[in-house]
C-alpha cells in the first residue's frame, strides 16, 4: 500500500512527547508511535518517586492548555497527581494504542539510501521510520559523581531519581549529597523519620517561599463554574510572564533588592552562622531559583547538619568531604541532579554522512529554535537546547514546539521526503542567541547546570515566552533544505505555494 503520511517515532512519553503526539493526532496524522523506557507515561513524573516530589510551578499552568484540570488537590501538584493527570490525558484522547512502554531506544541511525531512520531498541528490534522526535527532556539521565570508594560503602545508597523504597530510613543516619531541587524536597520529607540528616552541599542555591495550600471545597466549586478554570489559567500565566524582564542585566537594581530581602529571611530562620554558609554568593536568577517553605526551618533543626563542601571520597562508614570532615552515614542519597547538556544521551544518534550527534555537539549542544540541527534530516527535538523555561511554564513552550514540528511533518508529503535546517540559518540563529545571552543574568558566572564546562549557556531561552511563541509560530520553508531530487529553490517555491 502506498503511504501518504510519514511514519513518526516520538521518543519520550512525558509532557513534551505527549504534546507532539496530541498535536499530530488533532491534525489527522495518525502514523506515529510513542516510545518510552519507563513502565508508564509521565517522563520525569514517572521516574522520580522520592519523598516530597512535587512541582515548583502552580498546577493551573503546569498542565496542557487544552486539558485544564479544575480540581487539583493542591496549588502545586505532587508527583503522583501529575503522573495521574498525564495518564488521564492519554486515556481521554485515545493515545494508548500509539504507546510502546518499557521500550528503550539505544541507537538512531539515518540511512541515506532509504531516506529513513533506523531505531535500534534495547532488545535488538529495529524500527524504520521517516521522522524522529526526541522528547527525552533535559532531566532524564541521573548523574552520580565519580568519587573514589563509592562501591565500598557499607549501607544503602541510591540517586533520588531511582529511589529505593525498600530502604527504611527510620532511625537511620542519612547523608543527602546536593542542595538542589530534589534535595530541598527530600530533606524536609525524611527529617522526622531519620535519626540524623546531614546535607552535603558544595554550592547553595537561592530558595524562596512556596505558597502552597490544599484546595478547599469553595475553591473547587468555583473552578467548576463555566470559564473559571480558563480564566485562572490565563491570569496565572500572565502573572508569571511578567517576570521575564528579570532575566536581563538591566534588572540588577531590582535583583539586589530581592537578594537583600532573602538574606534577611534566611538569617531570621536559621541564625547568622548557618546563614553565612547556606546563602548563595551569586546573583539571584542566574541559577535555578527553588521554591520551599520548609527548607530553611529544616536545616535549622538540631538533628540536621549542613556541610558546605564537596564529597571527595566514600568510605565503608560514610563520606569524606573536601574540608577534611568525616560524615558518618547508614544511607547515602545522591541528590546530584542530571546531565542536562547531553539531551538525547545515552542514545547514540548518527545523521547524514555518518555524523555523530555527540561529536557534532562537542562544544555544547545547539539547535535552530531548540528544535532541529543541521546534518540530521527529519530529526526534531522537544525541549531541546536553549528552550528551558525559567520565568513561566515549560508546558506552554512544549505546545508551541509541538505545533512547529507538526507543520514541518505536514510538508513531508511522500516516502523519501526529508528536510534539514540550513547551516547558515542555524549558525546565524545561534550566534544571535549567544549575543542575547550575554545581556542576561545567566552569563553572570554563577555555578550550575545552565552552562557547559567552557561557560557556554546551552539550556535556557533568553527571552519571554511570548517571544519564543512568535519565533516558532510558522515553519518557514526557506529555512530548510529539501529532498525529492529537484533543485532546492524550485522545491521550496512549490511547497511555499501550497502553505
Statement to judge: residues 258 and 381 lie in one domain: no
Q: Is the pLDDT of residue 492 over 60?
A: no
Residue 3 lies in a domain: no
Statement to judge: residues 94 and 32 lie in one domain: yes
Residue 73 lies in a domain: yes
Residue 209 lies in a domain: yes
pLDDT tens sequence across 99-116: 999 999 999 999 999 999
Half-sphere exposure (CA, 13 Å, Cβ side) for 176? 31
Residue 327 lies in a domain: yes
Which pLDDT band, with edges at 50, 70 and 90, does 139 fall under? low
Say which residue, 353 or 139, is predicted with more confidence.
353
Residue 344 lies in a domain: yes
- Cβ contacts of residue 458 below 8 Å, gap of 6+? 341, 364, 365, 366, 385, 386, 450, 451, 452
Residue 263 lies in a domain: yes
The arithmetic mean of pLDDT across residues 17-46, rounded, is 96
Euclidean distance between CA atoms 58 and 107, whole angstroms? 36
Structural domain including 317 reads 150-213+220-334
Which pLDDT band, with edges at 50, 70 and 90, does 486 fall under? very low
Q: Is the pLDDT of residue 190 over 90?
A: yes
Residue 1 lies in a domain: no
% of the chain with per-residue pLDDT over 70? 94
Q: Residue 126: what are its φ and ψ, rounded to 5°?
A: -120, 125
Statement to judge: residues 344 and 263 lie in one domain: no
Statement to judge: residues 425 and 402 lie in one domain: yes
Q: Is the pLDDT of residue 76 over 80?
A: yes
Give yes or no for a contact between 328 and 194, defined as CB atoms under 8 angstroms apart: no
User: What distance lies between CA 146 and its chain's CA centroid?
Assistant: 23
Q: Is the pLDDT of residue 1 over 90?
A: no
Helix axes 394-410, 15-26, angle to 10 degrees: 40
Q: Residue 358: what are its φ and ψ, rounded to 5°?
A: -65, -40
pLDDT tens sequence across 315-360: 999 999 999 999 999 999 999 987 655 667 578 999 999 999 999 9
- Cβ contacts of residue 56 below 8 Å, gap of 6+? 76, 181, 210, 290, 291
Least confident of 74-83, 116-125, 409-418: 409-418
Statement to judge: residues 131 and 234 lie in one domain: no
Strand partners, 381: 134
Q: Is the pLDDT of residue 18 over 70?
A: yes
pTM: 0.93
pLDDT tens sequence across 360-388: 998 889 999 999 999 999 999 999 999 99
Statement to judge: residues 442 and 385 lie in one domain: yes
- Select from 314, 334, 354 the last residue of a domain: 334
Question: Residue 488's pLDDT is what?
Answer: 43
Question: Residue 499's pLDDT is what?
Answer: 47
- Select from 303, 318, 334 the last residue of a domain: 334
Which pLDDT band, with edges at 50, 70 and 90, does 242 fall under? very high
- Cβ contacts of residue 370 below 8 Å, gap of 6+? 381, 383, 384, 385, 386, 387, 401, 461
- Select from 334, 364, 382 the last residue of a domain: 334
- Cβ contacts of residue 309 below 8 Å, gap of 6+? 200, 202, 321, 322, 323, 325
CA angle (389 as vertex; 275, 296 as ends), nearest 5: 20
Strand partners, 248: 440
Q: Residue 370: what are its φ and ψ, rounded to 5°?
A: 75, 15
Q: Is the pLDDT of residue 484 over 90?
A: no
Which pLDDT band, with edges at 50, 70 and 90, does 127 fall under? very high
Kindly state the DSSP code that residue 288 receives in the 8-state scheme. P
Q: What's the mean pLDDT when you consider all of the chain?
A: 92
Residue 2 lies in a domain: no
- What is the number of domains present in the chain? 2
Statement to judge: residues 41 and 169 lie in one domain: no
Statement to judge: residues 360 and 477 lie in one domain: yes
Question: Residue 2's pLDDT is what?
Answer: 54
Statement to judge: residues 119 and 25 lie in one domain: yes
| CATH code for the domain of 66 | 3.50.50.60
Q: Is the pLDDT of residue 490 over 60?
A: no
Statement to judge: residues 192 and 100 lie in one domain: no
- Cβ contacts of residue 479 below 8 Å, gap of 6+? 368, 421, 422, 425
Q: Which three cell numbers mark 360? A: 557534532
Question: Residue 173's pLDDT is what?
Answer: 98
Statement to judge: residues 284 and 255 lie in one domain: yes
% of the chain with per-residue pLDDT over 90? 83
DSSP string, 96-119: GGGEEES--EEEEEEETTTTEEEE
Statement to judge: residues 373 and 310 lie in one domain: no
Amino acid at each position: 500500500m502506498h503511504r501518504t503520511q510519514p511514519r513518526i517515532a516520538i521518543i519520550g512519553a512525558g509532557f513534551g512527547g505527549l504534546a507532539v503526539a496530541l498535536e499530530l493526532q488533532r491534525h489527522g496524522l495518525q502514523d506515529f508511535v510513542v516510545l518510552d523506557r519507563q513502565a508508564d507515561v509521565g517522563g520525569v513524573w514517572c521516574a522520580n518517586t522520592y519523598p516530597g516530589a512535587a512541582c515548583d510551578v502552580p498546577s493551573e499552568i503546569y498542565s496542557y492548555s487544552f486539558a485544564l484540570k479544575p480540581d487539583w488537590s493542591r496549588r502545586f501538584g505532587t508527583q503522583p497527581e501529575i503522573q495521574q493527570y498525564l495518564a488521564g490525558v492519554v486515556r481521554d484522547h485515545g493515545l494508548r494504542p500509539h504507546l510502546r512502554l518499557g521500550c528503550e531506544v539505544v541507537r538512531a541511525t539515518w540511512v541515506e539510501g532509504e531516506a529513513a531512520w533506523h531505531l535500534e531498541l534495547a532488545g535488538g528490534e529495529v524500527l524504520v521510520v521517516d521522522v524522529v522526535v526526541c522528547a527525552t527532556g533535559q532531566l532524564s539521565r541521573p548523574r552520580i559523581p565519580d568519587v573514589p570508594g563509592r562501591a565500598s560503602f557499607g549501607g544503602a545508597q541510591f540517586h533520588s531519581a531511582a529511589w529505593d523504597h525498600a530502604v527504611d530510613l527510620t532511625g537511620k543516619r542519612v547523608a543527602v549529597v546536593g542542595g538542589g531541587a530534589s534535595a530541598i524536597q527530600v530533606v524536609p520529607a525524611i527529617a522526622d523519620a531519620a535519626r540524623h540528616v546531614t546535607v552535603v552541599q558544595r554550592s547553595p542555591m537561592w530558595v524562596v517561599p512556596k505558597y502552597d495550600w490544599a484546595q478547599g471545597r469553595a475553591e473547587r466549586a468555583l473552578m467548576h463554574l463555566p470559564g473559571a478554570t480558563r480564566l485562572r489559567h490565563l491570569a496565572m500565566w500572565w502573572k508569571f510572564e511578567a517576570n521575564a524582564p528579570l532575566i536581563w542585566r538591566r534588572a540588577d537594581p531590582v535583583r539586589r533588592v530581592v537578594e537583600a530581602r532573602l538574606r534577611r529571611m534566611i538569617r531570621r530562620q536559621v541564625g547568622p552562622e548557618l546563614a553565612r554558609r547556606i546563602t548563595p554568593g551569586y546573583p539571584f536568577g542566574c541559577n535555578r531559583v527553588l521554591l520551599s517553605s520548609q527548607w530553611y526551618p529544616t536545616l535549622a533543626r538540631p538533628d540536621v547538619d549542613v556541610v558546605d563542601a564537596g564529597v571527595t571520597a566514600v568510605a565503608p562508614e560514610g563520606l569524606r568531604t573536601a574540608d577534611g570532615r568525616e560524615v558518618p552515614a547508614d544511607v547515602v542519597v545522591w541528590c546530584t541532579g542530571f546531565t542536562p547538556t547531553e539531551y538525547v544521551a545515552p542514545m547514540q544518534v548518527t545523521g547524514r554522512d555518518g555524523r555523530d550527534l555527540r561529536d557534532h555537539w562537542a562544544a555544547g549542544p545547539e539547535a535552530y529554535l531548540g528544535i532541529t540541527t543541521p546534518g540530521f534530516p527529519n530529526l526534531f527535538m522537544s525541549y531541546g537546547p536553549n528552550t528551558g523555561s525559567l520565568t513561566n511554564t515549560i508546558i506552554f513552550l512544549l505546545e508551541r514546539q509541538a505545533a512547529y514540528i507538526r507543520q514541518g511533518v505536514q510538508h513531508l508529503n511522500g516516502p523519501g521526503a526529508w528536510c534539514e535546517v540550513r547551516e547558515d540559518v542555524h549558525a546565524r540563529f545561534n550566534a544571535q542567541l549567544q549575543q542575547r545571552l550575554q545581556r542576561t543574568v545567566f552569563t553572570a558566572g554563577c555555578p550550575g547546570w545552565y552552562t557547559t564546562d567552557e561557560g557556554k549557556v546551552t539550556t535556557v531561552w533568553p527571552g519571554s515566552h511570548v517571544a519564543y511563541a512568535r519565533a516558532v509560530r510558522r515553519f518557514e520553508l526557506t529555512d530548510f533544505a529539501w529532498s525529492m531530487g529537484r533543485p532546492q529553490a524550485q522545491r521550496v517555491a512549490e511547497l511555499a505555494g501550497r502553505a
